[in-house]
Structure 1
Amino acid sequence: MKPGGGFPPGDVVERMVACYHAPALAYRHLRETGGLISYVVPELEARSVLESAVRVYLLLTRFTKSQAVDRLLEIAEGGVDQREQAEFNQITADLRELARPCLELDVFWRDTGKEEL
């Protein structure tokens, strides 16, 4: 946020992100200035790198054991019909939940050194 209120223009933030190697700035700017991001990217938290990595592992393990991948491929092969829509929506919701900690790692930890203890 700029002194006196408001946010810097997108092109300024873009240069800051590139200069400081800080994708978290881009995420925060988009979250604060554009309502459309919430339709595509879930809300992210700046968790520790260890917590995010453990969440990825646990969610991926659960997703794989649920055999949802196989079911998603079966649904996708023939196209999503009305009777499969609810199941398809649940699988994609689970994938969105899996994407969250992956994005947190990418946005908050991609260009950093080791986390301070």
Structure 2
Amino acid sequence: MEDGEKRLKQEDCNEDKLGAGILTLTNKRLAFDKTKSRMMDFSKRFGDTVMDISLNDVDKVWKEGRLIKKVCFTSKTKEGEQTYKFGVFNTKDWLKNIENAIKEHKNQ
């Protein structure tokens, strides 16, 4: 993490295209790290960071789904506009936290 960066929320989850990993929200960015787990000893290890997006680049945040709920956001990347959909435990809380972090980041 960078100087002045604080972790606001973190959860083990699954993204539609990226697979299983850990979603992290800080006061400056959203990051997703792939995880590697082993059933034999129930261990889980962080893998590569496959998504690292500044809160300035997040265009839109929403939640969707009835049975399988997801928190979603669209952002600007080097490849163009990208949409991510994460299956997290409490979509309402994640949505509120992301929106608040974006507002506070823009006011700095």
How would you bin the TM-score normalised by the shorter chain?
Answer: under 0.3
Q: Report which of the two has the higher share of helix.
A: 1
Instruction: Provide the TM-score with structure 1 as the length reference.
Output: 0.26
Larger Rg: 1
Q: Report which of the two has the higher share of strand.
A: 2
